[in-house]
Amino acid sequence: MKKSTTLVLMMLTAPTFGQIMYKCPVSTLGAPPFYQQAPCTPTGGGEQVEVKRIKATGTNTRSSEQGKIYRRGNAEHWAEQREARIRAAEHRAALKAERAKASTAEAQAQRETTHVIRETNK
């Protein structure tokens, strides 16, 4: 069921590259025209515009360099976050170990105190 639904949705949302679009005028002054896939009027009004695929070229090196800088900064940020999480986990583990030692020492002191009290009450 999910596969057929996905297939139908993919077919319905297929890209419009290479298809004909219509540029429809607007009656409001100063408003931009709007575009749609059907003719603007039942008689076929509107200017036909062919949608063409935009090809990605490596000519815009500035934005490419900016993207690299952003990605590098982003990677550094996440590396710092990962290191901070590791340090925090190590700190929590050390605190847990110290609490366990303190608890053990306290229990031992209580046992010794109980033993001394019993010995003095005999």
Neighbouring residues of 39: CB distance < 8 A, sequence distance ≥ 6: 22, 45, 46
d(CA 19, CA 101) in angstroms, rounded, equals 74
7-27 pLDDT tens trace: 555 555 555 456 778 888 887
Its pTM stands at: 0.38
What is the reported pLDDT for 88? 96
Residue ranges of the domains in the chain? 2-50, 60-122
**Contact 25/40 with Cβ under 8 angstroms?**
yes
Average pLDDT, the chain: 80
